Amino acid sequence: MTQDFSEPKLTHLDSQGQARMVDVSAKPPTVRYAIAAAQIRMSSSTLETIQAGNAPKGDVLGTARLAGIMAAKQTSQLIPLCHPLPLQKVEVYLTPDPQLPGYQIRAEVKTKAETGVEMEALTAVSVAALTLYDMAKALEKSMTIESIRLLSKTGGKSGDYQRE
């Protein structure tokens, strides 16, 4: 059975089923905002060492925060078919969570463009989590990055989204 690609239902496929970058040139630029989250689970002793600023590689949290911001700005070079966007705001928060134990990671990304910033927010939390792992792996190699997810987004044709 062959699939009919004459009227593509997926925006990133052309009429022959080939991957393509979506043409957003006819869309008006609007304010787009997205929030994503992730978490990294570790032992209580690793969390305490990071909190005390005693990790062997130095400033774990500052480096992870900066890596997340830089990653958001490079999303179109990392994810095929993503549009390069002029980001006006990228904030990355790493909050200690003794109950996990570990860190809750959150990224907020904003632009005024023809397409949304969900991928930029998701990339930011992913790379922040990976960097936190890299900076603390000398303390613990069994850390686990978990639950990378979009929390909310506003703007655009598809409307607003809020995770329940």
**Joined tokens for residue 40:** 């990294």
User: Which strand (E) or helix (H) includes residue 162?
Assistant: strand 161-162
User: Beta-carbon neighbour count of residue 59 at 10 Å?
Assistant: 13
Query: For the domain that residue 151 is a member of, what is the CATH number?
Result: 3.30.70.640
Q: Is 22 in a helix, a strand, or coil?
A: coil
Number of domains in the chain: 1
Q: Any known ligand binding at 140?
A: no
- Compute the mean pLDDT over every residue in the chain, rounded to the nearest whole number: 90
Q: Any known ligand binding at 81?
A: yes
Q: Does residue 134 fall inside a structural domain?
A: yes
Distance CA 145, CA 97 (A): 14
Domain coverage including residue 98: 30-155
Q: Does residue 160 fall inside a structural domain?
A: no
Q: Any known ligand binding at 119?
A: yes
Q: Determine which one of 4, 14, 23, 134 is catalytic.
A: 134
107 has pLDDT over 90: yes
Distance CA 107, CA 114 (A): 21
Q: Does residue 5 fall inside a structural domain?
A: no
Q: Does residue 58 fall inside a structural domain?
A: yes
* Residue 105 banded pLDDT, cuts 50, 70, 90: very high
- Residue 152 pairs with which residues in a beta bridge? 35, 162
Q: Does residue 96 fall inside a structural domain?
A: yes
Q: What is the DSSP string of 59-97?
A: -HHHHHHHHHHHHHHTHHHHSTTPPP--EEEEEEEEEEE
Q: What is the pLDDT of residues 4-55, one digit of tens each?
A: 444 445 566 667 777 767 767 777 888 999 999 999 999 999 999 999 999 9
Q: Does residue 162 fall inside a structural domain?
A: no
Q: Any known ligand binding at 7?
A: no
Q: Does residue 46 fall inside a structural domain?
A: yes
| φ, ψ dihedrals at 86, nearest 5° | -80, 100
Distance CA 130, CA 40 (A): 9
Q: Is 23 designated active site?
A: no
Whether this model's pTM surpasses 0.75: yes
